[in-house]
Structure 1
């Protein structure tokens, strides 16, 4: 009786050379797309219910689906180091990690510069700089750890930028017209789904409203 071949789930299966501190750091960097998906967007939906965030996450899912279709169509092998990484049974072009992070970076930057959620040029520059730094680190990590070639990560980055910009245009030029209808729908009301795109600085808006509500409560308690 032959023993069946076993395959590991590779969602967080990132390898680096023992004792390589840079490799250890870059292995964690390589997991950032997982943290964004599971920690960022799930918690965003649970606590925020913003339509911009929901369609942002939907765009990333579409981007990753396109990545898988292209990989299966092109079927370009990973570099020779795939033997050590046990990844030779999967395809490498284009890099899904690079595509994910550059889609995230360009969409997030466009949101900031459109004025959705954050006001002030200095704030926009500071916050907008972070995702691009992380995207570049992620791209570098995939080459350094041996999962992709340079051409594969650049292909992923280019595709991510193109799809991120395209999806931003689709959402904020076409689909945004349907946001009020989604808010007013039965499901929208039931799940408290909302759109704050029209508010220039959501953080300050919520801060001011929270303070006003607290002052109103304090006045009520004082009169009682």
Structure 2
């Protein structure tokens, strides 16, 4: 990377070379994990409160904890560009961004296939075309912007994929058996936590129940 002035995306401190439009785009791409965490999972808890997705988010937190433990233990330096990025005081192996996105991509893929299967093949294809290119772009952005080496992002991607698959298996073969207990617990009832994994088509189920509630004599329109 040439010694050009660097500019940070406002409020994020992800740096790219001033005037580099691709770098500017990739700087925003590298923030996708932030958008997923703050926008996706936070809004999901507020409006949906599905146990499956809540454990999905918990898995991502565990994955990031594992990443920090490994980084602290291995203490592999970032590439030489870390001086320009003011990141040399942190470690680079494995890449946390790549690990996050590949954990997300693998878990999301397995969960989507489990919920939709072969019934909604077109929806599956659209979902995959959104999540996997974004995971690869995030990985590429960390190398392009100088935050990681190629080996560091591939290590993060590999670890994220393995942890994503492993956590999906644990949640759906071990923890899911406790979902009814969590639903009926004081916590579950207070926060309206629910599990709809036993419903084949949640969208249709909610649509039909919403219509039924509107037609019911006791239905009252909110003021």
The answer, yes or no, to whether TM exceeds 0.5 is yes
Show structure 1 runs of 5+ residues with no match: 1-10
Tell me how many residue pairs correspond in the alignment.
Answer: 210
For the residues of structure 2 that align with 1:57 and 1:117, how far apart are their CA atoms? Answer: 22
Contact 1:110-1:168 at 8 Å conserved across structures: yes
For the residues of structure 1 that align with 2:219 and 2:179, how far apart are their CA atoms? Answer: 36
**Aligned counterpart, 1:103:** 103
**Aligned counterpart, 1:173:** 173
Q: Any residues of structure 2 matched to 1:144-223 within 5 Å, and which?
A: 144-216=144-216
Show structure 2 runs of 5+ residues with no match: 1-10
**Aligned counterpart, 1:70:** 70
Report the Cα offset of residue 200 of structure 1. 1.9
Instruction: Kindly indicate whether residue 90 of structure 2 is the aligned counterpart of residue 90 of structure 1.
Output: yes
For the residues of structure 2 that align with 1:53 and 1:157, how far apart are their CA atoms? Answer: 21
Report the Cα offset of residue 116 of structure 1. 6.0
**Aligned counterpart, 1:24:** 24
Counterparts in 2 of 1:179 and 1:200: CA distance versus 1, 3 Å: same
Report the Cα offset of residue 119 of structure 1. 5.0
Contact 1:49-1:193 at 8 Å conserved across structures: yes
TM-score (norm 1): 0.89
Contact 2:98-2:138 at 8 Å conserved across structures: yes
What's the secondary structure of 1:115's corresponding residue? helix
Contact 1:117-1:199 at 8 Å conserved across structures: no
For the residues of structure 1 that align with 2:56 and 2:179, how far apart are their CA atoms? Answer: 14
Instruction: Kindly indicate whether residue 144 of structure 2 is the aligned counterpart of residue 124 of structure 1.
Output: no
Counterparts in 2 of 1:220 and 1:34: CA distance versus 1, 3 Å: closer
Counterparts in 2 of 1:12 and 1:133: CA distance versus 1, 3 Å: same
Contact 2:60-2:100 at 8 Å conserved across structures: yes
Contact 1:119-1:201 at 8 Å conserved across structures: no
Counterparts in 2 of 1:220 and 1:60: CA distance versus 1, 3 Å: closer
Contact 2:116-2:124 at 8 Å conserved across structures: no
Moved more, 119-128 or 65-74: 119-128
For the residues of structure 1 that align with 2:12 and 2:29, how far apart are their CA atoms? Answer: 11
Superposed CA RMSD in Å reads: 1.9
Contact 1:101-1:138 at 8 Å conserved across structures: yes
What's the secondary structure of 1:153's corresponding residue? helix
Question: Which portions of structure 1, spanning 4 or more consecutive aligned residues, are displaced by more than 4 angstroms?
Answer: 116-119
What's the secondary structure of 2:16's corresponding residue? coil
Contact 1:116-1:197 at 8 Å conserved across structures: no
- Deviations for 1:116-155, whole angstroms, at most 9, x for unmatched residues? 6995111112112211111000000000000000000000
TM-score (norm 2): 0.90
